[in-house]
Structure 1
Amino acid sequence: MAASVASAIRSALLTADPRAKAMAARAVARDWRLGRLGFAFDAEMPDRPARPERPELLLPKHMPKRRKGGSERGRIALWHALAHIEFVAIDLALDMAGRFGAGMERGFVGDFLAVAADEAMHFALIERRLRTLGSHYGALPAHDGLWDAALETRHDVAARLAIVPMVLEARGLDVTPAMIERLRAMGDEPGVRLLERILDDEINHVRIGANHFTAVCASRGEEVNETWNLLITRHFRAGLKGPFNDSARAAAGLPRPTEHALA
């Protein structure tokens, strides 16, 4: 009998070593795609995934400020922060598939396992970039607030879709172009190409989230824009902060935020 997709996802979530987690996420996505995992949800998802001993995780208010200059130290801090975002994004995508897949169709599970595999690839590429700069993931402290959205929305797939892909990942669409220009100004063309590749993938990830959110709203007889903005005010009380990358957001199929959803 084939192993269940839920048990495979749970195992990946409980893998602490960063490289091993990335490999486990890609393996789950591959095994699902090849029909090696059963569409069964016989294993509970952990409230929190396993984490390595390093990086030290700090509350957002305790995180050191990153310098905006082009120093080597500043570049390392930038790439380390991006590595941590991608590392947590692996778990967010895995948890989406494992926690909510039983109430959704097979395509939902496949979509978010594919997202998890992409995030694992992004993490591996950024970690490699860190090593070319003489550093590694875990060398600096990291933000401990990124999993809060998963805990806040663990009860409802619509809330999870509204906040994780359609707010948190969508924020990457807004800020990445400026980072690309910053790296280009420093002459970091390999870094520019890497972030351009990640940006293209993230537009697709946000589109996947928006499409499934639209489907959930349709099944519940709810209006998409109104429901999204309501869920933001309920579960993302910090509010959305501009400026927004309107063209990337439109390409991803995002609704427009209302005044009540803005910071």
Structure 2
Amino acid sequence: MTTPVTLSDAACRVLNTADPAEKVRLTYAYAHEWRAGNIAEIGTSSPPDRPARPVKPVLCPPSDMPKRSAGGGKRRTNLIHAIAHIELNAIDLAWDAVARFAPLNLPKAFYDDWVRVAEDEARHFEMLQNRLVELGASYGDIPAHDGLWEAALNTNDDVLARMALAPMLLEARGLDTTPATVERLRANGDDATADIFELIGEEEISHVAAGVRWFEYVCEQRHLPPTPTFKSLVRERYKGQIKPPFNVPARTQAGMRADYYEPDCAAKA
């Protein structure tokens, strides 16, 4: 494997790789090369609007998705597969942030953060894929939806919008839902899956924190008030509804103040 000249070139190679296993392998390799200094320049390679995807899973509207739950049998497999699909998309979201916003000349720490996030998401995907295999399934066996990448397409024009919708809204929502899912998995005797979900939930806190950190940095650069700006972006660019309960301890640990999501943001978002 030839090491890419720039980090944005590496990001685009990952984004243009369809095979999930190869996407994970390249993510690990390029993250290592970046930290080692073998990739030293950010560069300005242009990312695709959509990352390459394998033939399976078939992508369907969210309303057509199979039922999933933390119980046993097929619904548990559906749940694990759905989260694996989110983690695969999250690998691409992190690399897309690296390449798409490279021309902004943000501090190196911005790119450090999203390379690290991509590596975390790759590991999360691997853990979930391995768990699917243990249960007699594999990634691609079950239909999935493209909702997460729709949020990416809707924020391609503005790093501030991307930070608001991806880590601060969607990933933060994962912080809210994970504890109850872990509890149900353990109640149903599936500690193996619960352990994976719990670890993912803990590590996602730092991803939300990265979103908050760079959202507030860009707000400062643009002389914008963070909370009203976040709420305005949510109203303008997010069509779904997210309601309490919120995982306040996890959000607080991520540096996300309550005024970002309560009370009027909770009512709208």
TM range (shorter): over 0.9
Q: TM-score, normalised by structure 1?
A: 0.95
In structure 2, the residue matched to 1:17 is 19
Q: Aligned partners of 1:107, 1:101: CA distance in 2, in Å?
A: 12
The match for 1:185 among 184, 187, 197 is 187
TM-fit CA distance, 1:2 = 6.7
Whichever residue aligns with residue 63 of structure 2, its letter is K
In the alignment, structure 2 segments of 5+ residues that lack a partner are none
Q: Aligned partners of 1:249, 1:2: CA distance in 2, in Å?
A: 36
Whichever residue aligns with residue 198 of structure 1, its letter is I
In the alignment, structure 1 segments of 5+ residues that lack a partner are none
The match for 1:259 among 246, 251, 264 is 264
The sequence identity of aligned pairs, in percent, is: 44
Deviations 1:104-133 (A, max 9, x none): 111101110100000000000010000000
In structure 1, the residue matched to 2:42 is 40
Whichever residue aligns with residue 259 of structure 1, its letter is D
TM-fit CA distance, 1:145 = 1.7
Deviations 1:77-100 (A, max 9, x none): 111111101010000011011111
Deviations 1:64-89 (A, max 9, x none): 232x4723111111111111010100
The match for 2:240 among 216, 238, 241 is 238
CA contact (8 A) 1:90 1:117 kept: yes
Whichever residue aligns with residue 26 of structure 1, its letter is Y
TM-fit CA distance, 1:246 = 1.2
Aligned length: 262
* SS at 2:101 equivalent: helix
In structure 1, the residue matched to 2:77 is 76
In structure 2, the residue matched to 1:98 is 99
Q: Aligned partners of 2:28, 2:70: CA distance in 1, in Å?
A: 35
In structure 2, the residue matched to 1:161 is 163
* SS at 2:136 equivalent: coil
TM-fit CA distance, 1:21 = 0.5
CA contact (8 A) 1:39 1:106 kept: no
CA contact (8 A) 1:12 1:21 kept: yes
Q: Aligned partners of 2:66, 2:124: CA distance in 1, in Å?
A: 24
Segment drifting more, 217-226 vs 115-124: 217-226
* SS at 2:42 equivalent: coil
Ranges of 4+ aligned residues in structure 1 off by more than 4 Å: none
Whichever residue aligns with residue 174 of structure 2, its letter is G
In structure 1, the residue matched to 2:203 is 201
CA contact (8 A) 2:209 2:256 kept: yes
Q: Aligned partners of 1:260, 1:246: CA distance in 2, in Å?
A: 14
